[in-house]
Amino acid sequence: MHLCLLDQGEGTGAISVGHTVQVEAMSGMNTRSVQRALNSIMGPTAEAMANGLQEPAMRIGAEFQVAIPDMSEFHSTTDPDSMSQGSGSILVWTPNPNLKTEYLDGYLKVAKEQFGYGMEQALGLLYWHKYNIEKAVEDLSNFCPIQEEWNMEDKVTFEQAFQYHGKNFQRIRTMLPEKPISGLVKYYYLWKRSYSQYSLMDKHAKKNGRRIV
């Protein structure tokens, strides 16, 4: 799967896979927070590397050499320049076989749960840093992802969850796992102000010829 950066200005950008997600600048992470995040992804090795205790060893000799395959076919489909021709967009993610799956999963978990990033946003940031997880984690808090507008299904699900759980946003999030707690709280106050005679569930059901009991 490839993602494309549709537009990028100073401090802002948009990553798209059929929809647009905006990003705006925020404050940075402190060193301790970065280290905790890295440790949760890569374990104690990350701390040792960050402290300079483990330096990359030079690999010299025929036994460390690899045969480089013909990449012409690869570049014809994934090269950023070729991807941008005719579409005005550039490539912002392509898988890297040298990146350990467990590290990538850990990075995505940190980006999603601690900073509210979507998968597309987190992958785009990692690609921007040339798959360097440490640099990507350091940059996570420098951007605040603005969540895409809630669709009708999300709004109806929120109302149902609110009926069951009240203002227990932790439980509401079990029904809307893609939404961060901060996003749920923000939507709650917007929803509360705009709540009128009929709820969205009633309106949605009426539109589809059903009745909410």
Instruction: Write the CATH number for 157.
Output: 1.10.10
**Distance, CA of 198 to CA of 196 (rounded, Å):** 6
pLDDT one-digit tens code per residue, 135-151: 999 888 887 665 556 88
Tell me the pLDDT tens digit for each residue of 188-203.
888 887 665 445 556 6
Upper half-sphere CA count for residue 141 (Cβ side, 13 Å) = 11
| Cα dihedral 147, 152, 154, 159 sign | positive
Polymer length in residues for the chain: 213
Domain enclosing residue 190, as ranges = 152-207
137 shares its domain with 57: yes
Flag whether pLDDT at 58 surpasses 60.
no
pLDDT of residue 76: 44
Total structural domains within the chain? 2
Query: Within this chain, do residues 24 and 101 fall inside the same structural domain, yes or no?
Result: yes
Decide if pLDDT at 31 tops 60.
yes
Same domain assignment for residues 46 and 8: yes
Shared-domain flag, residues 200 and 156: yes
Segment 180-195 shows an average pLDDT of 82
Determine the pLDDT at residue 160: 93
Is residue 21 located within the same domain as residue 84? yes
Residues 126 and 193 in one domain: no
pTM above 0.75, yes or no: no
End position of a domain, from candidates 98, 124, 146: 146
Q: Are residues 37 and 142 in the same domain?
A: yes
Is it the case that residue 174 has pLDDT exceeding 80?
Answer: yes
